[in-house]
Amino acid sequence: MNPLITADVTERLRQHVAGRVIAPDETDYETLRTTPAGAPDARPAVIVRARSTADVVQAVAAARESGLELAVRSGGHSGAGHSTTDGGILLDLGEMKELEVDLERRTARVQPGLTAGEYNEAVGRHGLATGFGDTGSVGIGGITVGGGMGLLTRRYGLTIDSLLAAEVVTADGTVLEADTDHHEDLFWAVRGGGGNVGVVTRLTFRLHPVDEVLGGMLVLPATAEVIEGFVRLATAAPDELSTIANLMPCPPLPFVPAEVHGRPVLMAQLVHTGPLEAARRTLESFRSLAEPYADLVRPMRYPDIFQGEEAGPMPEVVSRGGFARRIGAQEASALAEAVATPGSARIVQIRVLGGAAARVDAAETAFAHRDQPMMLMLVAFCDGPEDRARQERWLEEASGMLDGAAYVNFLGREGPERVRAAYPGATWDRLVEAKRRYDPGNLFRLNQNVPPTG
């Protein structure tokens, strides 16, 4: 990092930015410079805590003109460590939390610094919701530009399927309002392109009438029969039901009997948005798969589904995410065995997709995996280098269940081939075209990068 360039950039930012400009020796630098999943030693040359779109324009100009790397952070949950930069400019949108609700039109216009939990808590006061993921602390900025899969996906589609418009600062500093009638190619690329075409500074979402839901956690024994049955029921269930199931050794949860702790369990989050009686009937079939170890499914306000958990330091893990075509008896049996292996802490997450997300044409957004029936995330905790090698062998084997396609929000630092796998066929070509138009110099490269050269 050239100290003359960075001093100059910092000075210029101080003159033009309304939000805070934080240099390495200043208050809050240490807490803001990285995130649990970011490189622990990363030291940005300067941090800009933007307050407005105009601040974002200034930070983008500073990066473009200085050549310094630009990190764009909304909620800071990038699993690939893209929420910070070593020696570059960290543009932190975490203070941009304005939200306006239009009850008549049932829309919300928001800045990207809100978390999914904060957003749904606010719109939930009106009995409305937009679907993001399963974790309240994830930023709406990052999850939206990748697609957004969660507990309303089968009912209302991905997050991007509820996105009506986006204000975007492109690489040359232009502020564009994009929707299906204006800068359509930009709007298409924002919806799943992973932040490759610009910084999104405002998002307009459709709000759905989601007030009380039947939802919560169900903990079942993770036998092969239960796993297979769960996937079968979740796939056949009405669109009102979305599920996310984690297979793992049972953590020491106070609401699960102590003798179950450490045993392999299927711990599912379920949300049913339909009428209570129908929801109860659907949920009954899941309960009858096996005697539940714990059953916290109850009528609740939708925002209460988020537990407000805070990410701590990340333990050493190896992981692989992707789509799976089926989980039949054979796959279920392999998964049950994987999480029951003594001395191995492994988590397998299964998200059954379909429903409204599958009814959107694959060409409509930059997220094209509309026909994929489910997502799988395979995670193994490593206890030293020897164990790491063992867990990597398991990942390699278990990855046989994945079909090779990737979801950009669940990618780590896995190389260009895996980014390519997130954008099949014509989607890649169209994204490259949008990149050439809106970011020909690849200013926005600290992401799952789609280079303008293709």
Ligand X SMILES: Cc1cc2nc3c(=O)[nH]c(=O)nc-3n(C[C@H](O)[C@H](O)[C@H](O)COP(=O)(O)OP(=O)(O)OC[C@H]3O[C@@H](n4cnc5c(N)ncnc54)[C@H](O)[C@@H]3O)c2cc1C
From the list 81, 243, 77, the residue with the least C-alpha distance to 149 is 243
Q: Which is nearer to ligand X, 7 or 314 (CB)?
A: 314
Q: Are 19 and 90 in contact (CB under 8 A)?
A: no
Q: Which is nearer to ligand X, 64 or 287 (CB)?
A: 64
- Residue of minimal Cβ distance to ligand X: 142
For 415, residues 6+ apart whose C-beta sits below 8 A from its C-beta are none
Q: Are 73 and 94 in contact (CB under 8 A)?
A: yes
Q: Which is nearer to ligand X, 309 or 429 (CB)?
A: 309
Q: How far is the CB of 149 from ligand X (least distance, A)?
A: 4
Cα 328 to the center of its chain, rounded Å: 27
Q: Which is nearer to ligand X, 339 or 450 (CB)?
A: 450
Distance CA 388, CA 444 (A): 33
Q: How far is the CB of 134 from ligand X (least distance, A)?
A: 4
Q: How far is the CB of 383 from ligand X (least distance, A)?
A: 22
Q: Which residues bind ligand X (CB under 6 A)?
A: 72-79, 82-83, 93, 112, 133-135, 138-139, 141-143, 145-146, 148-150, 195, 199-200, 311, 409, 447
Q: Are 210 and 273 in contact (CB under 8 A)?
A: yes
Q: How far is the CB of 175 from ligand X (least distance, A)?
A: 13
Taking phi over 0 as left and psi of -120 to 50 as alpha, with beta for the rest, 246 belongs to beta
DSSP string, 213-267: EEEEEEEEE--HHHHHHHHHHHHHS-TTEEEEEEEEEPP--TTS-GGGTTSEEEE
Q: Which is nearer to ligand X, 79 or 373 (CB)?
A: 79
Q: How far is the CB of 254 from ligand X (least distance, A)?
A: 21
Q: How far is the CB of 80 from ligand X (least distance, A)?
A: 7
Q: Which is nearer to ligand X, 195 or 354 (CB)?
A: 195
